[in-house]
Chain A
């Protein structure tokens, strides 16, 4: 909402200076976005003097002028005007200027082989008159010492631009703003002068508001003004319209706009002679159409509120008028409309048709239903002043009467809500200045809400009015109380926190990427999940919710590879989506590692990152987050985007359906498809939701501290075993030989090939044996060794290597 301080002062007697007004506006909730002169397209036009006008070398009719524009050097301009001569004072438009007449933007151009820097202007080009035969001739005595100055004074006063919240339609008019300021002590609201307009004759165009279920109009007021001569607006009115950042059109249109911004009362003027017999306010039928004043043709749906005549739709009520009944300079008789349209109906229609107008913006927020007559009177008075004409009686048709909103307000609610007290006297004064009618019934105030405040419906709204006008600085801050109702984080929130920092501590950079992604990449990672398209995506490559974190991670990994980085470790912790219902999401860590380990190391051999790098990262992170390593079971079934032979799943329990983590190489097909250029690419993911919450807190779960001082022995075994036999199984077989005595089993060598039969491999393990009761003698150890060998051989088909 834009307006000038002068305009405000039409409604407000104030001693406040501009800055005080600005501060006050912000303090009462009318946020000032800016306070500055509106720049004008006309600012670039400057007074200039032709120093020397000579004939163009290639064209007799053109002149080549050296022009003084008030700077060090003269400018060369090609000019076709016959009156261009030495010493002439005129108006110069530099390149970049927009010529008012044709809205063309000037550029440096060659005219018949000579470069012309800008243009000398005629009156018609500047829309000052129709004179187009020559360039403007400025009077010497007035302009001789103004060379280089702006020709058009930027008379525009500084404009206040307010950002009005959607609950305050009343402040979409200057008068409403003045009223708020007066309530806040910034001055006195001026009383509207009673007009002594004389009405002659009746409004004899019949108006019918059809009683329909979807009727979007409840009041339609109008009057006829006959015998007007429409014209350009006078300067004061043009200035007002310009200060709003709008273009003056004609007196009649400018007046209706002016009243809208002044009083927040949208109006519409019809050329009465173009109306076919009568005005019918009704709901549209699907397929009806009309051409609107924005020169677009709209095809309507059912139940849109239209103003029509017998020939069809004239306009969309409260949104936009039509060209068929639009006013022109030649218009003689006008029908002025001042109506009330229901916000719901306006909003629905404008959304469906995608139209945004100043009138629509106001009606959808709620216009004062009691401002019908005032709007008609003010506008017709101005029209009569400027365009002449006879004004008919006002005709107001209604299908519904306005009901006053009454609120019984207990002033204690104010203190209860804000924590401070305002005397009743002051409180009543504020409300009365805002337009409330206040009466008292013991402690309770009976308040009649002003008709221009549709936002006020209940006592809490009254609290807001008072505290806002009184000033938020009166609220006393209370020290925060430290009472805690429950622990800050629950188990999964802590897990989130631990895993996030645990993974980062393994050398991964945390990133945050969009929750949406490119369906084409998502496709490669979504497995059996349903695709979740966004109806209105921000762009076609962010068109689905991500089913996995990897589409984004891989996409950005590629970008970083393209930036020249080779060794990259990235991870993200966040949601992935499994369905489109709220809650169909999992919290997941996705991590990628590309490139080499020990690249360019002077002492270590560099190697490509591999599955066991990420296996370490994932297992260590899980352990750091509190999962017992002994509980971890590895499986080799993984989603299809993993290398089928070089990836694994992590479980806490054999019966579990969902792996809590996967790790491994990414499938070579994906690398190929996405054209990722890297030496190696391994990934892992952890699904936090699949990690079981341990039932005990750490303080309860620490088991008794036990250790053995008896001598421990280590024995190495090497087995020849089927190639596909899992080392995890072998370890488990050995452990199960004697859970008490066998303290640890470690695989320290695996190889195939030389001396090993086809389809077999050799696994060497180191077994630590220790008793908690005694030192084991050779005999004991031999027995265990034999047991280990026989168990392994019988359960796995392996053979001990001799």
Chain B
């Protein structure tokens, strides 16, 4: 018995220092193979007395368990070591660049249109559109700007024919005309889109964007106009308070008419919207002129309401600190990457207008 204990202790010592998986396996078969030491010991059990057998069997079993346990731990230990070593060898430089990321962007004008649509959607406006090419009637005459009206001079118009019948719309207001002609009041729409005037300098582009607003119902008055625009401006610039002023102006298609200024100041060379003692004109609006309503078959003694027109590019410039209007349309890759928006930045009420 003591022999076996000694053998066990020897093998335990051997296993403790052994690091080669094959050698451990050799030990395993030396001990437990067909003619293994422990196997042979078990064979001997049959030839001894019952009493001795009982004790020896128990001892043998303990030794067997201990050794087998040791072997399996050892094998696991060596395997883990080997795997770790292998993995260590496989190590790569994870700071190497990922596969090329291709980042697309949404143009600021599109983003601002979506922001505007989202805000007006919240207060029940739907989006209408009209064609870029308009006839003279929808662009001017129906809007109470008859031929030979000096207000036409304020619009430098692109014409498509010599009779000046067809033109590129100079504002989004003809969408008012189209919307009212094809439907019945009430109307509650916005109409964003491209507009065109033939002047081009640092602050003017021959093409720019406007959004038209129109709300016609039985009792819509200037208070609603003011409330609507207050709401819009506050939401758009994402501020709690904004200094705004309505001041009288003139547009042939609204009466009374107003221009809206917002307060601003220049702080460290950056424009800060909503405060300060300087005024910036941002939109024109007014009560839709009875003549316009008559022209689109809406009875002005029954229905009234307001309309407004906002320069989209300019709003975007103010909100996102873009200085140069012309750059909007010059497709400079650097500019588009810089000022563009991630396509997942969809302006919405619950996710917020902008990130």
Are both chains from one complex? yes
> What 0/1 pattern do residues 447 to 476 of A give for CB contact below 8 A with B?
000000000001011011001100011011
A243 to chain B, nearest CB (A): 25
How far apart are the CA atoms of A168 and B256 in the complex, in Å? 14
Q: Does B239 contact A (CB under 8 A)?
A: no
A505 touches B343 (CB 8 A): yes
Please tell me if B275 contacts chain A, counting CB pairs below 8 Å: no
Chain A residues, Cβ within 8 Å of B334: 563
**Contact between chains at B150 and A365 (CB < 8 Å):** yes
Q: How far apart sit A112 and B205, CA to CA, in the bound complex (Å)?
A: 50
In whole Å, how far is B285's beta carbon from the nearest beta carbon of chain A?
A: 11
| A510 contacts B104, C-beta separation under 8 Å | yes
Chain A stretch 507-525: residues in CB contact (< 8 A) with chain B: 507-516
CA distance A548 to B62 in the complex (A): 89
In the complex, per-residue mask of B286-309: 1 if CB is within 8 Å of any chain A CB, else 0: 010110000000000000100000
Q: Does B149 contact A (CB under 8 A)?
A: yes
Q: B304 and A29: CB pair below 8 A?
A: no
Residue on B with the closest CB to A535? B159
Separation of A483 and B220 alpha carbons in the complex (Å): 13
User: With A536-B198, A565-B333, A582-B131 as given contacts, are A166 and B226 in contact (CB-CB < 8 Å)?
Assistant: no
Question: What's the minimum C-beta distance from B298 to chain A, rounded to whole angstroms?
Answer: 14
Consensus secondary structure, chain A interface = loop
Give complex CA distance A598, B138 in Å. 52
- Given the interface pairs A416-B304, A584-B133, the reply to whether A464 lies near B257 with Cβ below 8 Å is yes
Q: Judging by beta carbons under 8 Å apart, are A417 and B104 in contact?
A: no
Known contacts A488-B121, A493-B127; A514 and B207 CB within 8 A of each other? yes
Whole-angstrom distance between the Cβ of B151 and the nearest chain A Cβ:
5
Complex contact B329–A514 (CB within 8 A): yes
Given contacts A417-B221, A488-B117, A575-B194, contact A464 B256 (CB under 8 A): yes
Min C-beta distance of A496 to chain B, whole Å: 9
Nearest A-chain residue to B221, judged by Cβ: A419
Partner of A509, one of B104, B162, B168, B304: B104
Cβ contacts under 8 Å, A603 to chain B: 96, 99
Interface size class on chain B is: 35 or more
User: Are B104 and A505 within 8 A (Cβ)?
Assistant: yes
**Distance of A481 Cα from B340 Cα, bound (Å):** 33
By a CB distance below 8 angstroms, the chain B residues around A516 are 158, 206-207
CB-CB nearest in chain B for A571: B104
- Identify the stretch in B22-30, B34-42, B241-249 within 8 Å (CB) of chain A at 4 or more residues: B241-249
Q: Does A532 belong to the interface (CB within 8 Å)? A: yes
Is A482 in contact with chain B by the CB < 8 A criterion?
yes
A515 touches B127 (CB 8 A): no
Cross-chain contact B222 with A419 (CB below 8 angstroms): yes
How far apart are the CA atoms of A535 and B133 in the complex, in Å? 13
**In angstroms, how far is the closest chain A Cβ from the Cβ of B211?**
13
CB neighbours of B133 from chain A (8 A): 545, 577, 580-585
A599 to B103, CA, bound (A): 15
Bound complex: CA A767 to CA B221 (Å): 68
A560 is contacted by which of B166, B227, B255, B332 (Cβ under 8 Å)?
B332
What's the Cα separation between A488 and B347 when bound, in Å? 14
Question: Do B336 and A510 touch (CB < 8 A)?
Answer: yes
B258 interfacial contact with A, CB 8 Å: yes
Name 22 A/B residue pairs within 8 A (Cβ), A-sorted. A27-B247, A460-B290, A464-B257, A476-B223, A489-B126, A504-B104, A506-B102, A506-B104, A509-B340, A510-B105, A510-B340, A511-B331, A511-B336, A533-B160, A534-B158, A536-B159, A537-B158, A556-B331, A574-B194, A577-B132, A581-B133, A583-B133
Q: Which 6 A-B pairs have the closest CB atoms?
A: A507-B102, A29-B248, A419-B223, A165-B250, A556-B331, A464-B256
A interface list, Cβ under 8 A from B: 26-29, 31, 165-168, 343-344, 347-348, 364-365, 416-420, 458, 460-461, 463-464, 467-468, 472-473, 475-490, 493, 497, 500-516, 532-538, 542, 545, 552, 556, 559-560, 563, 565, 568-570, 573-575, 577, 580-585, 597-599, 601-604
Known A167-B252, A418-B256; 18 more pairs at CB < 8 Å: A27-B247, A343-B148, A347-B150, A417-B287, A418-B221, A478-B227, A485-B188, A493-B127, A504-B104, A504-B343, A508-B104, A510-B336, A532-B160, A535-B158, A536-B159, A570-B336, A580-B166, A584-B131
